[in-house]
Every structure is written in C-alpha cells, then in structure tokens.
Structure 1
Amino acid sequence: MRYGKGHKEATRRRIIDVASKQLRKEGMGAAGVAGLMAGAGLTHGGFYSHFSSKDDLIEQALRDAIEQVKVWIASVAEKEENKFEAVVRAYLSTSHRDSPQTGCVAAALAPDIARHSPAVREMFTQSIVEHIEMLATLLPPQATAEARRSVATAIISGTIGMIQLARAVDDEELSEQILEDGISACLSLARAIKA
C-alpha cells in the first residue's frame, strides 16, 4: 500500500510527540520502543524506518520537549506586564505540577539525562543555558548582566527542585505550600538583586 507524500514525516512527527510526552510522564527507563510505538498507534516493526535507535528517538523527543517548554514560557511572558512573576507563577503552578507529560524536561528527567549519552547531555546543557539567559532578561535591568545570570541560575535550579518535590510528596497541602513558598522565594530573590 502506497502512502501519500508527507505520510512518513507525519508518522515520525506523531512518534516524536508521543515519546516526548511519555518520557516526561514515565521517565526514560520506563519507555520501551514497543510502548512508544503502541502509544503512537503503530507497531514495533515500523520503528527502524523512522529512527536509527532508541537513543535517536529519545534525543529527538527531548529536543521536541525542550522546544515545547520554550514556546510555553515565551507565551506566558508575552501575555503579562510583569513577565518574570508570570513565568515563575506558571512554572510553580498546580497545572504544571499535575502535567509532567507537557511540562519542564529538567523537572521530569534531569536524573535520567545525567546518566544518558553525551549528545543528549550536550543538548540538555544548551537548553539550560538558554533558559538561564531568557530568565535573566526578565530580571531588573538595573542589575549587571552577571548578577542577573547568577540569580536566574539560582531560580531555575530552585524551581526545578520545587516542582519535583511538589510532585513527589503525597500530602496535597504540603505540595501546595511548596509551590507557594517557592513563588515567594523567587520573587524575593528577584527583588533583592543588586544593581
């Protein structure tokens, strides 16, 4: 059976989208090729016509997930006057906490990525650098670029840990408190930045 032009690329795109969500929700270790393909509505046999290996798919899926997060953060910042606060509140929100499959790659997968291939770690490192730079631009402009980058690094590191803790605890009230206290801490840190 012959498929129309663009079918193979559309199928590849669907596999990457499913893998991007499944990896963030279940972790790299839980995502097997057969499960990823089934999630995309395809058989395991067709995998190698789209990807050279599971690592190739993981790299593509993580790249896609990172891009999704960049678009999400940019859209949040674009809508609000206080862009920094809007980004912090969106990141440390219950909707982000409850939706790892569409959320931050670092919060969902940092420990897995630390044990992965050099190519994946390099891609992830570049994305963290870009996120630090982006967040630094949202901090008070009277501070030096170095001070803004330093505070942005601390805030990104802290918020990743906060969302991980808020997801891990089994006490809803404590989880909410972690998010709220995290927002307050990030806003205080931004206000305290020195020129």
Structure 2
Amino acid sequence: MRYDKDHKDRTHRHVLAVASERFRRDGFAGVGVASLMKDAGLTHGGFYGHFRSKQALVEAVISEGLEDTLHHLETAATDIESLVDFYLRPEHRENRAQGCAAAALAAEIVREPKRARVAFTRKLARIIAHIRSLLPDRSEHRAQAIFALLVGTLQLSRAVSDRSLSDQLLQAGRIAVLALADSRIEDT
C-alpha cells in the first residue's frame, strides 16, 4: 500500500492529538503505548515510526500542548478581563482533556526528566510573555503570579467534589486575578 507524502505527518499529528487528550485526562503513567495507539486507530509497532520512546512523546505533548494553550489565550484574550473570563469559565473546568496543558499536566511534569521540564519552561515563558503584554505596567512578576493563580484556581475547581464550591473557587480566582492585575504593588 502506498501512502501520499503527507500521510506520515498527518499520522504523527493524529498520534500527538490523541496522546495529548489521553495524557491530560489520565496522566502520563496512566497511558500505555499500546492503548494509546489503539485509541489512535493504529498498531503498537507503528508508534516507533513517529517517536523514539514514550518519553519523546511526552516531551512533544508538553511542547505542543502549551503551544495550543498559548494560541487559545492569544485568540481569546485582548485584555486581562477577557483572558480571565476565557480561562476560568466552567466549560474549561469540565474539559480537562482539551483544556490548558499546564493546568492538566503540571503535577505530572514535576516528576518527569529534566528535558520534559525544559520543554515546559520554554513554552511557559511564552504564555507569561503574552499575559505580560496585556498588563498596563508590563510587569513580569505580576504576569507570573496571574498565570499561577489561573492554573491553581482551575486545578482546585476541578479537584473538589462540590459543584457549588467549584464555582465559588472560579469566582474567587477571577476576583483575585483582576485585583492583582489592577494592583499598585511594586514589581520587585
């Protein structure tokens, strides 16, 4: 069987997309190569034509996932308020498999080898730079704190079993981010 020249690229992107959803939903350790490839509609052996190891796939998913998060933030947010409204919405809370890679994977990434954390750090810097560009004072520290508040708020709202408390956490995070963005705290 002959494939067109773009077949390998399309298949590679498809495996990445399936892995990204599975890793965000089930964690890195909760996803095996065989089950991942089955979900992608491919054979287990075909995996190694695209990635040298599961670790290489993890690194690619981290990089692509945060790139996707950045793209969504750049598209949805023209100011801090629209960024907060986009990020801390109930639909984002409910959709972990397609939501922010940082919120879904941060606890996983901390246990990964340095190469995965380096990939995360590079993309994180770009997300923070975007947030910084939305701030009137362009404060790096404030942008870092805002993203940390957004990610932590989203993670906690997903973790609790009480929907009312989850909604309250989203609202509290929204209030805190907007207050921080508008504060007169010196950037040290």
Query: TM-score scaled to structure 2, two decimals?
Result: 0.94
Please name the residue that 1:103 is paired with.
99
The answer as to whether partners of 1:151 and 1:193 remain within 8 angstroms in 2 is no
1:192 maps to 2:183: yes
Please name the residue that 1:62 is paired with.
62
The correspondence of residues 32-43 of structure 1 with structure 2, limited to 5 A, is 32-43=32-43
Please name the residue that 1:120 is paired with.
116
1:179 maps to 2:170: yes
Please name the residue that 2:18 is paired with.
18
Shift of 1:194: 4.8
Q: Which runs of 4+ in 1 moved over 6 A?
A: none
The answer as to whether partners of 1:76 and 1:86 remain within 8 angstroms in 2 is yes
The answer as to whether partners of 1:92 and 1:163 remain within 8 angstroms in 2 is yes
Letter in 2 for 1:18: V
Please name the residue that 1:153 is paired with.
144
How big is each residue's C-alpha offset from its partner over 1:59-86, in whole Å with a ceiling of 9 and x where there is no partner? Answer: 11222111111110011124xxxx1110
Unaligned runs of 5+ in 2: none
The correspondence of residues 80-91 of structure 1 with structure 2, limited to 5 A, is 83-91=79-87
Number of aligned pairs?
Answer: 186
Provide the C-alpha distance between the structure 2 equivalents of 1:18 and 1:70, rounded to a whole number of angstroms. 19
How big is each residue's C-alpha offset from its partner over 1:37-63, in whole Å with a ceiling of 9 and x where there is no partner? Answer: 111111112111111100111111222
Name which of structure 1's ranges 174-183 and 185-194 shifts more when overlaid on structure 2.
185-194
Aligned-pair identity in percent equals 41
The answer as to whether partners of 2:103 and 2:151 remain within 8 angstroms in 1 is yes
The answer as to whether partners of 1:159 and 1:182 remain within 8 angstroms in 2 is yes
Shift of 1:193: 3.0
Shift of 1:4: 2.0
Please name the residue that 1:5 is paired with.
5
Provide the C-alpha distance between the structure 2 equivalents of 1:174 and 1:120, rounded to a whole number of angstroms. 33
The answer as to whether partners of 1:16 and 1:60 remain within 8 angstroms in 2 is yes
Aligned equivalent of 1:94, options 90, 93, 103: 90
1:162 maps to 2:153: yes
The answer as to whether partners of 2:66 and 2:124 remain within 8 angstroms in 1 is no
Query: TM-score scaled to structure 1, two decimals?
Result: 0.91
Provide the C-alpha distance between the structure 1 equivalents of 2:91 and 2:71, rounded to a whole number of angstroms. 17
Provide the C-alpha distance between the structure 1 equivalents of 2:61 and 2:54, rounded to a whole number of angstroms. 10
